[in-house]
Amino acid sequence: MPESSAGGSDTVPSSDRKQRVVFLGTPDVACTALDALLDAADDPNCAFEVHAVVSQPGRPRGRGRHKSGPPPPSPVAVTALRRGVPADRVLCPTKANDPAFLDALRALQPDLAVTAAYGNWLPQKFLAIPRLGTLNIHPSLLPQFRGAAPVQRALEVGADVTGVTVAYTVLEMDAGPVVRRAERVLDGSEKHDVLLVELFHTGAAALLEVLPSVFSGEACFERATPQSEYGEPSHAAKVSPEEGNLRFKTENATTLRNKVRGFAGWPGTKGTFAVKKLGAGDDQWEEISLKIITARVLGDNAAVEKPGGDGETVALTKKNIIVPCSGGTYLEVLEVQPPGKKAMSAGDYANGLKGSVLKVVA
């Protein structure tokens, strides 16, 4: 067992106190797991307490916020304070290897640490502190999609099934042994921003189910299942904003549909089009960037009129927009967001373009 994965102290807590859990998380989605732990801990018969909460420092939000005072705390920090975690036990170090933070953590004598979308690398000095180690809620079926963007990458490649894993944390990213996995079969309609929340709900429930076994030693690090028993690892690299640019002329409709699903919420997806009013000269095209929010592949038997065969002209209907894609495929766009406007149905947008021609640019 790597030294970094072992608990820091072999001292068993006295029988007159509960197991001390330190929770680490930062964004809104991590509040799901924190709330679940706090709800469970409210039961007088619960074996543990949320002894402290660790989060990344707050960051400026919106334009100009950095000029109007200190940034607001993270969603997890706000939730912890609202739920009654003492302010001196809501810790927000810039880095988890900060000596002052590590000293404060040791003083808390935690039995177990739990992470959910914390977002900071945990060094060996941190991992050695909790007596029972550190568990992580990861929204994929490890060892698949280790890394920063597991749900986005699973949807991008059109995975048929994903899920959530509760695993011990080691120095190698998302590589620790597994104590619980829960599968989620995908039907092709799921979007990243919604599915991510669902998986953290599932992960929080799975964590609560396994905690008694962790505290008893039955599900300790040494007895957890090595990830190698579940197959070969794959990596889920962080998504860049540029990946949200849809290339209709070089990518087929299935690939584009999966990007729309996988990048929903952030960074989002957009296509570049050219629009011209009927009867206008050939030089009267105006280029627009249109956010694509919801889309599906137009099947061969769909009762929808398809665009002409030039590979560029978009069909505008009362219910949708049909975009020609590579390989003779078509993307049926159902929801869009024009520049400077709110999201709307593609049919409403198409109705606003009456008397115009729309073509794909790239």
For the segment 37-82, what is each residue's pLDDT rounded down to a tens digit?
Answer: 999 999 999 999 999 999 999 887 655 445 567 889 999 999 999 9
Q: Which CATH class is domain 3-236?
A: alpha beta
Residue 278 exposed, middle or buried by CB count within 10 Å (0-12, 13-18, 19+): exposed
pLDDT for the residue numbered 2: 37
In a 10 Å sphere around its CB, with 0-12 CB exposed, 13-18 middle and 19+ buried, how is residue 279 labelled? Answer: exposed
Strand partners, 93: none
pLDDT bracket for residue 10 (50, 70, 90): low
268-304: per-residue pLDDT in tens? Answer: 999 999 999 877 777 789 999 999 999 999 985 455 5
User: Which letter does DSSP use for residue 31 in this model?
Assistant: H
| Distance from C-alpha of 317 to C-alpha of 308, rounded to nearest angstrom | 14
pLDDT of residue 5: 53
Instruction: Enumerate the domain spans of the chain.
Output: 3-236, 241-360
Token pair for residue 315? 């069909």
Asked which of 56-65, 162-171, 255-264 is least confident by mean pLDDT, the reply is 56-65
Q: Which pLDDT does position 302 carry in this prediction?
A: 54
241-360 under CATH 3.10.25.10, yes or no: yes
| pLDDT-derived band at 7, boundaries 50, 70, 90 | low
Lowest mean pLDDT segment, chosen from 73-87, 171-185, 288-302, 305-319: 305-319
